[in-house]
Structure 1
């Protein structure tokens, strides 16, 4: 006779369908394209982690990114506060191994935008021309 020690289910399902066991993380199988797997592996290597941990971290980042924040619900905001928030968010997305001057250049480029569009920006004063 085999003696199996059962771990209680984390929920009270009567149908005995699969559920997360108490004290254990869920293991989920997902189908990923080769391209997505390669992207995840590259991200994992950059962040010195395993593929499994990378998937978990990326899903967590994605879930938090999709949640509306109190700031996004506000209609009118201070332009300086908007810019500071954009700088903070861009800085979080940049590769942490970049030198500080390159990080600053990339942030400025994204915040200020291409010179060709400077005339279209509503936040800049118009020069008579």
Structure 2
């Protein structure tokens, strides 16, 4: 009998030392057929094909959050917003009209200026 490793901290079942974990997954018939075709092309078993395809998939893409830096600085956030808005505006607009539209979107309507939490409040 193969010795078992300690139970993991997440309380999942222990895995036999020296052996890969065996996992049961539910696959549609279409997905199973696609995996079998891929396995046949690569002359490997279905199990090895699933393992290789998962490895390829996990290394092919990273979460979107890690691709974009976390923007916390208000000035950087505003600069990025200005750049995005500028890219969406019609390039045929005169420069002063482009600036007016960008400011209107960034600053918001004047009637809401008192409600903005990022602007200092007048005392008095």
**TM-score calculated relative to the size of structure 2:** 0.45
Between structure 1 and structure 2, the one with the greater Rg is 2
